[in-house]
C-alpha cells in the first residue's frame, strides 16, 4: 500500500497501459482520477474497477478547457494531486511520403501538446504543495526511431526533451519528473501492428516475449513511489532488452 492518501491522475486511463496503471494504484491505496476521450471505455473501466476511490472524466487531452475543469474538480474534491501520468497517446502511421499534414498534426496534438497541456494544468498545484511526481509516456520509438512512424517518433522523442527540462525546472521545488520508454506492449495500440512484425519484435527481444500492460504499470508505480525518491530526469526503458 505505497499510495495510501495519494491522489493519482492518469490520462488515457480507460484502456491498455493507462487502465492497468490506474488499477494498480487503486490496489495500493491511492485515490485515482482517470480521463479519456472514449466515454464508453471510461465507463466500462469504472465498472471493472468497482471502487469508490476512482473518478472518470471524459476529457480530450488536446482541450485545455476540459483538462482545466478536471483538475479544478479534482482539487475541489481532494485538495491535491500527487502523481500525474501523461499516458494518453495515439498512432497514425505511414511512410513520410504518404503521411498527410493532418496525421502529423493529430499525433503531435495528443502525444506531445497533450502532455504539455495536462502538465501545465497540474504543475501549479504540485508547486503549491511543494511535492509531486510527473511521469510521461515515451517509447523505444522515441529513442531509436522507426520506419513509418515519423510523427509518433517525433512526439516520443519530444517527450524525452520535456521530461529532462521539467526535471531541471521542477526538481528544486520537490517535484520529480521521469519518463518510461516501453517496448512493444500487448494493447489496442499494437493490435493494429501486423503479426509478422510483432513476431519479429518478439524474436529480437532477449526475454522473447512482448510486454504486458502490467510490466509498464509496475514501472510507473515504482517511479511514483518513495523508493524512487532520488530518480529524476531519467528515461526508464521497459522493453525486455529489445534495444540492448
Ligand atoms: P491504448 O490505445 O491501448 O490506450 C490509449 C488510451 O488513450 C485509450 O484509452 C485512448 O482512448 C486514450 N486517448 C487517446 N487519445 C486521447 C486523447 N486525445 N484524450 C484522452 N484520451 C486519449 O494504448 P497503450 O498501448 O495503452 O498506450 C499508452 C501509452 O503508452 C501511449 O502514450 C503510447 O504511445 C505509449 N506506448 C505504448 C506502447 C505499446 O506497445 N503499446 C509502446 C510504447 C509506448
Q: Whose CA is nearest to atom 35 of ligand 1?
A: 137
Give the model confidence (pLDDT) of 146-203 as tens digits. Answer: 999 999 999 999 999 999 999 999 999 999 999 999 999 999 999 988 999 999 999 9
CA-to-CA dists, residue 191 to 139, 155, 185, 188, 208, angstroms: 16, 20, 10, 5, 18
**DSSP assignment, residue 225?**
S
Q: Among all chains, which residue has been given the C-alpha cell 531509436? A: 144
- Distance of CA 172 from the midpoint of ligand 1 (Å): 30
- Distance of CA 11 from the midpoint of ligand 1 (Å): 9
Which residues are near ligand 1 (CB < 6 Å)?
11-12, 14-18, 36-38, 41, 59-62, 87-90, 110, 114, 137, 139, 182, 184-185, 187-190
List, edge to edge, every strand of the sheet that includes 31-36: 54-58, 31-36, 7-11, 83-86, 132-137, 175-182, 235-238
Q: Tell whether the torsion through CA atoms of 153, 204, 136 and 143 is positive or negative.
A: negative
- Distance of CA 12 from the midpoint of ligand 1 (Å): 6
Contacts of 38 by beta carbon, 8 Å cutoff, 6+ apart: 14, 15
* pLDDT bracket for residue 143 (50, 70, 90): very high
Task: Extract the C-alpha cell encoding 93.
Answer: 502511421
Give the model confidence (pLDDT) of 83-140 as tens digits. Answer: 999 999 999 999 999 999 999 999 999 999 999 999 999 999 999 999 999 999 999 9
Q: What is the average pLDDT score of the chain?
A: 97
Nearest to 31 by CA among 47, 9, 7: 7
Q: What was the pLDDT predicted at 192?
A: 85
Give the model confidence (pLDDT) of 220-239 as tens digits. Answer: 999 999 999 999 999 999 99
Amino acid at each position: 500500500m505505497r499510495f495510501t492518501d495519494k491522489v493519482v491522475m492518469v490520462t488515457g486511463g480507460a484502456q491498455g497501459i493507462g487502465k492497468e496503471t490506474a488499477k494498480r494504484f487503486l490496489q495500493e491505496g491511492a485515490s485515482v482520477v482517470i480521463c479519456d476521450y472514449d466515454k464508453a471505455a471510461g465507463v466500462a473501466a469504472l465498472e471493472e474497477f468497482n471502487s469508490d476511490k476512482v473518478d472518470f472524466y471524459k476529457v480530450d487531452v488536446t482541450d485545455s478547457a476540459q483538462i482545466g475543469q478536471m483538475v479544478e474538480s479534482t482539487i475541489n474534491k481532494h485538495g491535491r494531486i500527487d502523481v500525474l501520468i501523461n499516458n494518453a497517446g495515439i498512432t497514425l502511421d505511414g511512410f513520410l511520403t504518404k503521411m498527410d499534414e493532418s496525421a502529423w498534426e493529430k499525433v503531435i496534438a495528443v502525444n506531445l501538446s497533450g502532455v504539455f497541456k495536462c502538465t501545465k494544468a497540474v504543475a501549479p498545484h504540485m508547486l503549491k504543495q511543494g511535492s509531486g511526481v510527473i511521469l510521461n509516456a515515451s517509447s523505444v520509438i522515441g529513442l531509436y526511431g522507426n520506419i513509418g512512424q515519423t510523427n509518433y517518433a517525433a512526439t516520443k522523442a519530444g517527450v524525452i526533451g520535456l521530461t529532462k527540462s521539467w526535471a531541471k525546472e521542477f526538481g528544486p521545488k520537490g517535484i520529480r519528473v521521469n519518463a518510461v520508454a516501453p517496448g512493444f506492449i500487448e494493447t489496442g495500440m499494437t493490435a493494429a501492428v501486423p503479426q509478422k512484425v510483432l513476431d519479429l519484435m518478439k524474436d529480437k527481444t532477449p526475454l522473447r516475449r512482448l510486454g504486458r500492460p502490467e510490466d509498464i504499470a509496475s514501472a510507473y508505480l515504482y517511479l511514483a513511489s518513495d523508493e524512487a525518491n532520488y530518480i529524476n530526469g531519467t528515461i526508464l526503458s521497459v522493453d525486455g532488452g529489445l534495444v540492448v
